[in-house]
Amino acid sequence: MSDFYNYTVERDFNSRGKGFIINYRNHQEEPARLRIEQRGGYVALCVGLTGDFLVDSRLIQPLILALKGLDPL
């Protein structure tokens, strides 16, 4: 499995600025993305073509705070 160092973070403007997209390369070195979006008290995680996975935002709050402090690389 490759290292997770080659990635970029960008705001997902389709979610009205409340989301982020992390672009990276998967284990087969193909481009992949993880979309994270706040929806009320929940956070939607979407990887590739799979459906959204809703998580209580309290469980992922440290990740959200860390991403808000990052600029796209």
Residue 51 lies in a domain: yes
Residue 28 lies in a domain: yes
pLDDT in tens, 6-52: 777 788 777 665 788 888 877 777 787 888 887 777 777 777 655 56
Residue 40 lies in a domain: yes
* Res 54: pLDDT: 66
* Res 29: pLDDT: 79
Please tell me the pTM assigned to this model: 0.55
Per-residue pLDDT band for 72 (boundaries 50, 70, 90) equals very low
Residue 33 lies in a domain: yes
* Res 73: pLDDT: 41
Range of the domain at 50: 8-68
Residue 53 lies in a domain: yes
Residue 73 lies in a domain: no
Burial of 51 (0-12, 13-18, 19+ CB in 10 A): exposed
Residue 3 lies in a domain: no
User: How many domains is the chain partitioned into structurally?
Assistant: 1
Neighbours of 69 (CB within 10 A): 6
Extended strands (E) in the chain: 8-11, 19-25, 31-39, 42-47, 53-56
Per-residue pLDDT band for 1 (boundaries 50, 70, 90) equals very low
Residue 1 lies in a domain: no
